[in-house]
């Protein structure tokens, strides 16, 4: 049994910090398909502000309705700040992910030792993925917990609970069905589970489907089966393909780019050497069909494969243990390992302290300012900044009663009758209209002020670094 806990304590601190700073979302679905759906059910926005999937009734209702219940509960005790509300959801997601990884670490310790624990605790992308309050994240949580229950010896209670968690996993994200099917094959073919136990496991999914049915009805206001709508509209009618079609092999180069090539290559090399040891692991059997189906589907996004990260880490940890045991005395191995580890550690603080959405810290500042100065006007240039995806507004974060005025161009004309508490939001870090320091000063910028003096190659003109100004005091 493992006796060292220090790096797990560090990992917990990393998750808490990341949850605080990682405001916003990785993909718009993380926001619009959950928070905005909940916002609509609470009567705080309009159906016209919903993404197209709302009218087609094709998204699961469980997570939005859980969010409705959560928001009502925290608001009942006085927590009304939306940024603090979502921080707690990110924190809960991150701590649950870390707790699940810790349990898997204990189970896999006899096979992988500390290699798996160190990898999941310090790999630079893990805290960012862990704190996401997304359908991919919560589906993977339930799937991983359900798989844990059938990894070793089973009894009726464990089988029923595992099946229930698998059903919830499906209710969070329908695509996990391919992984559940792969796990079923592993239980039958590799673990030699008796049919009566397999049927008991399947029976455990029934209450989860009942909960999902109730949640779907509560969200859409009628009885329906969104999973069928999702399959019919996205696959049979080809709606998913309208967002882009990629070749079968697209995920491999995209993975290397997103992981930062040296770290991504190192993970794949380790996984190659570790596959022999882990090829019968249930994570592998579950995620091979899951990944293959996503490779066959034309529309591809890296977030679709987030649930498969666990399988990659287990296999890479096995490869790390093998290479360390066989090649640990070789200088080339030590240099390669330290180089990859150094790059990974350098990337970790970057992901810990940056927002998931660049606009979110500015929305946070505007919200806090408006709570203190209710008469303040937010002047914006040319477009509504809360329209983060086309014309879809992030209504959840917009302060109630916010006065916003849109100007054609700050350089051509400034608003009249400006007040000291008014704010001017610019999507340019060095907008020429605000260079007069006797008239304007910086109210907020997420980046340090020194960055304005570094403009090598004119990168600032190509970047979208916002700044909020106010009248000089």
pLDDT at 459: 61
Q: Which pLDDT does position 336 carry in this prediction?
A: 85
Identify the pLDDT of residue 4.
55
For the chain, give the percent of residues with pLDDT over 70: 96
Sorting pLDDT into bands at 50, 70 and 90, what band is 413? confident
Buried b (16+ CB within 10 A) or exposed e, 112-141: bbebbbbbbbbbbbbbbbbbbbbbbbbbbb
Distance, C-alpha 462 to centroid of its chain: 27
Is-contact 210 167, C-beta < 8 A?
no
Report yes or no on whether pTM surpasses 0.85. yes
Digit-coded pLDDT (tens) for 415-458: 888 899 999 999 887 888 888 878 899 999 988 777 666 666 66
Please determine, for residue 409, whether its predicted confidence score (pLDDT) is greater than 80: yes
3-state secondary structure the chain: CCCCCHHHHHHHHHHHHHHHHCCCCCCHHHHHCCHHHHHHHCCCCCHHHCCHHHHHCCCCCHHHHHHHHHHHHHHHCCCCCHHHHHHHHHHHHHHHHHHHHHHHHHHHHHHHCHHHHHHHHHCCCHHHHHCCCCHHHHHHHHHHHHHHHHHCCCCHHHHHHHHHHHHHHHHHCHHHHHHHHHHHHHHHHCCCCCHHHHHHHHHCHHHHHHHHHHHHHHHHCCCCCHHHHHHHHHHHCCCHHHHCCCCHHHHHHHHHHHCCHHHHHHHHHHHHHHHHHHCCCHHHHHHHHHHHHHHHCCCCCHHHHHHHHHHHHHHHHHHHHHHHHHHCCCHHHHHHHHHHHHHHHHHHHHHHHCCCCCCHHHHHHHHHHHHHCCCCEEEEECCCCCEEECCEECHHHCCCCCEEEEECCCCCCCCCCCCCCCEEEECCCCCHHHCCCCCEEEEECCCCHHHHHCCHHHHHHHCCCCEEEEECC
Tens-place pLDDT, residues 301-352: 999 999 999 999 999 999 999 999 998 778 888 888 888 889 999 999 999 9
pLDDT on residue 7: 82
Position 460 confidence tier, pLDDT thresholds 50, 70, 90 = low
In whole angstroms, how far apart are CA 433 and each of 167, 380, 437, 443?
56, 13, 10, 15
Average pLDDT, the chain: 93
Residue 1 confidence class, pLDDT cut points 50, 70, 90: very low
Q: Which one has a higher pLDDT value, 427 or 250?
A: 250
Has residue 271 got a pLDDT over 90?
Answer: yes
**Does residue 128 carry a pLDDT above 70?**
yes
pLDDT tens, position by position, 201-249: 999 999 999 999 999 999 999 999 999 999 999 999 999 988 999 999 9
Residues forming a β-bridge with 377: 403
């Amino acid at each position: 049994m493992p006796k060292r806990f220090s790096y797990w304590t560090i990992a917990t601190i990393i998750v808490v910090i990341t949850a605080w700073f990682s405001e916003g979302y990785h993909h718009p679905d993380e926001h619009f398909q959950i928070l905005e759906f909940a916002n609509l059910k609470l009567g705080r926005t309009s159906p016209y502000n919903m993404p197209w999937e709302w009218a087609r009734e094709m998204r699961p209702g469980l997570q939005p309705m859980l969010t409705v219940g959560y928001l009502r509960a925290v608001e009942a005790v006085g927590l009304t700040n939306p940024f603090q509300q979502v921080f707690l959801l990110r924190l809960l997601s991150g701590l649950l992910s870390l707790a699940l990884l810790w349990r898997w670490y204990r189970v896999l310790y006899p096979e992988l030792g500390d290699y798996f624990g160190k990898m999941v605790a310090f790999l630079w992308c893990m805290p960012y993925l862990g704190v996401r309050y997304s359908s991919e994240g919560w589906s993977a949580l339930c799937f991983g917990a359900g798989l844990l229950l059938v990894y070793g010896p089973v009894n009726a209670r464990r089988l029923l609970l595992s099946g229930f968690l698998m059903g919830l996993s499906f209710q969070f994200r329908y695509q996990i069905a391919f992984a559940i099917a792969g796990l079923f094959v592993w239980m039958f073919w590799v673990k030699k589970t008796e049919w009566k136990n397999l049927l008991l496991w399947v029976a455990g999914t029934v209450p989860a489907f009942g909960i999902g049915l109730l949640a779907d009805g509560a969200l859409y206001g009628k009885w329906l089966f969104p999973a069928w709508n999702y399959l019919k509209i996205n696959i049979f009618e080809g709606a998913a393909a309208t967002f882009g079609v990629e070749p079968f092999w697209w995920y491999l180069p995209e993975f290397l780019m997103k992981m930062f090539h040296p770290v991504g290559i190192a993970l794949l090399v380790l996984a190659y050497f570790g596959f022999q040891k882990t090829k019968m692991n249930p994570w592998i059997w579950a995620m091979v069909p899951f990944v293959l189906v996503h490779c066959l589907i034309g529309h591809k996004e890296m977030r679709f494969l987030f649930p498969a990260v666990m399988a990659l880490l287990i296999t890479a940890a096995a490869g790390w243990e093998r290479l360390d045991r066989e090649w640990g005395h070789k200088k080339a191995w030590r240099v390669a390992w330290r180089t990859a580890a150094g790059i990974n550690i350098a990337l970790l603080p970057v992901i810990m302290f940056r927002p998931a959405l660049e606009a979110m810290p500015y929305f946070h500042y505007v919200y806090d300012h408006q709570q203190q100065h209710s008469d303040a006007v937010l002047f914006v240039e040319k477009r509504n900044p809360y329209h983060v995806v086309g014309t879809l507004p992030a209504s959840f974060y917009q302060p109630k009663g916010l006065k916003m005025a849109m100007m054609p161009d700050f350089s051509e004309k400034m608003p009249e009758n400006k007040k000291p508490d008014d704010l001017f939001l610019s999507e340019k870090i060095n907008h020429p209209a605000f260079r007069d320091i006797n008239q304007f000063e910086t109210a907020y910028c997420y980046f340090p002020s020194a960055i304005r003096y570094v403009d090598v190659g004119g990168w600032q003109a190509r970047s979208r670094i916002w700044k909020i100004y106010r009248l000089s005091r």
